[in-house]
């Protein structure tokens, strides 16, 4: 396939009768049965991405906990569970999803800045591997809830190392002015406060500095700082045995260069590999992003005079990342264009009543017409998981392909069903 298809992994994508096929299944055939828009995932690519990272990290003893927020579909997570992945969760709902997908509670790490009493109790009853506390206030809350349940909670304290992740401001999480973690300079409070917490056992530290990080430099700085903190806490008598290194491993959406699994392994080994710790990472995007696409149909090609608008049936409610982050997604026609065919510059837009409902601006694409199918590449992460029913639209379905078969793994939720979720008040 040509450079137009560079974001569609060649190991999974091919052509059948002049059209795109995923793992040997025609995208057009799926669209004819399921309707558009829909998310489409490759089981093969999920396994490839997970194995590449897990195999690179295994020699230095790093376990992989998939970040459920990237894509929490049970069918997707179950594939990773079969591969041996643990889970990183940020809500009680994600805990329920992880367990339902086959990830044992003992392989679940619960992160997040605003865990409720109910969620903390749910996690302790389930027996999760650890809670990543993000504040001293949360430590006290965990201690109180654990005491009420008659258990001792194993906790890692998330530290904010004040490291610039060199990424988009909205997905930076390791600077002093971000809401995440305890300031690295305030760990001295642990010496006294932990003495009063009979139902909390501090087993480690955790860090996560952001998402879509395209250089090892921020990781080097953050991990080196964490190594210093581990040594200092140990010198003060704290039995630190675990270090959660977070995720944020970037991927190419355009022509970016991203760290390879081998690069990450070398960085971890060089910074904290000599501390004798149980190490873990929390990748999400790097596992699932290029394993998924959003398939949409062109409704109209509108001649705007100086602009050609390709109006598709997917909206920002289905894929919000371009509106929220100005993210880039390659757009590829399902019917393969003829070599040397004419290209047209389009704004590709959706039907939502917002100017932000724009997927690309001034993008040169093969000539499009009403009825053509297109795929928006590298949409597996934060696509379906952030989808909504804005403008009273149906909730977008998800489809999984595995070795020549496809299955709907989340059906389209119609407006009629959504109305059933609501009720009119019956005043007395």
Q: How many CB atoms lie within 10 A of CB 4?
A: 18
Whether 194 contacts 142, CB under 8 Å: no
Q: Note the Cα 215 to chain centre separation in Å.
A: 18
Which residues belong to the active site? 353
Tokens for 25, please give them: 């299944």
**What is the DSSP pairing of strand 373-376 with strand 398-402?**
unpaired
DSSP labels, 162-197: ----SS-GGGB-SSTTSSSSEEGGGGGGHHHHGGG-
- Where b means 16+ CB within 10 Å and e means fewer, 350-387 reads bbbeeeebbbbeebebbebeeebbbbbbbbbbbbbbbb
CA 361 to CA 207: how far, in whole Å?
A: 36
Rounded Cα gap, residues 361 and 384, in angstroms: 22
Count, in order, helices (H) and strands (E) of the chain. 12, 21
Nearest to 302 by CA among 357, 356, 349, 258: 349
3-state secondary structure 284-353: CHHHHHHHEEEEEEEEEEEECCCCEEEEECCCCCCCCHHHHHCCCCCEEECECCCCCCCEEEEEEECCCC
CA 346 to chain centre: 29
| 3-state DSSP percent of the chain in helix, strand and coil, to 5 | 35, 25, 40
- Count, residues in the chain: 428
| Omega cis (within 30) before 37 | yes
- Cα separation of 217 and 264, whole Å? 10
């Amino acid at each position: 396939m040509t450079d137009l298809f560079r974001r569609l992994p060649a190991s999974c994508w091919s052509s059948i009768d002049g059209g795109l096929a995923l793992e040997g299944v025609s995208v057009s055939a799926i669209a004819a049965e399921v309707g558009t828009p829909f998310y489409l995932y490759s089981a093969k690519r999920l396994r490839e991405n997970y194995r590449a990272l897990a195999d690179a990290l295994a020699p230095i003893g790093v376990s992989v906990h998939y970040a459920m927020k990237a894509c929490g579909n049970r069918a997707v997570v179950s594939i990773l569970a079969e591969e041996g992945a643990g889970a990183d969760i940020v809500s009680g709902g994600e805990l329920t999803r992880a367990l339902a997908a086959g990830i044992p509670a003992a392989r679940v790490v619960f992160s997040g800045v605003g865990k409720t009493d109910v969620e903390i109790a749910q996690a302790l009853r389930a027996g999760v591997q650890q809670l990543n506390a993000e504040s001293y206030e949360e430590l006290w809350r965990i201690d109180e809830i654990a005491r009420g349940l008659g258990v001792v909670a194993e906790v890692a304290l998330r530290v904010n190392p004040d490291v610039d992740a060199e990424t988009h401001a909205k997905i930076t999480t390791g600077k002093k002015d971000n809401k995440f973690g305890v300031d690295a300079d305030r760990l001295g409070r642990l010496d006294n406060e932990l003495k009063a917490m009979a139902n909390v056992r501090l087993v480690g530290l955790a860090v996560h500095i952001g998402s879509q990080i395209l250089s090892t430099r921020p990781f080097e700085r953050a991990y080196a700082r964490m190594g210093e903190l581990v040594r200092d806490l140990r010198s003060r008598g704290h039995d630190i045995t675990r270090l959660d290194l977070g995720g944020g491993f970037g991927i190419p959406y355009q022509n970016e260069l991203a760290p390879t699994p081998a690069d990450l392994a070398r960085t971890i080994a060089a910074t904290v590999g000599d501390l004798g710790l149980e190490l873990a990472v929390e990748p999400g995007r790097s596992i699932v992003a290029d394993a998924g696409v959003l398939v949409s149909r062109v409704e109209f090609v509108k001649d705007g005079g100086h602009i050609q608008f390709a109006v598709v049936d997917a909206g920002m409610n289905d894929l919000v990342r371009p509106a929220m982050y100005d993210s880039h997604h390659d757009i590829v026609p399902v019917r393969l264009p003829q070599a040397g065919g004419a290209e047209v510059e389009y704004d590709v837009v959706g039907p939502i009543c917002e100017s932000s409902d724009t997927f690309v601006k001034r993008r040169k694409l093969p000539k499009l017409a009403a009825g053509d199918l297109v795929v928006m590449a590298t949409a597996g992460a934060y696509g379906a998981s952030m989808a909504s029913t804005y403008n009273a639209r149906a909730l977008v379905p998800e489809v999984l392909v595995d070795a020549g078969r496809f299955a709907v793994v989340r059906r389209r939720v119609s407006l009629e069903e959504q109305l059933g979720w609501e009720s009119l008040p019956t005043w007395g």
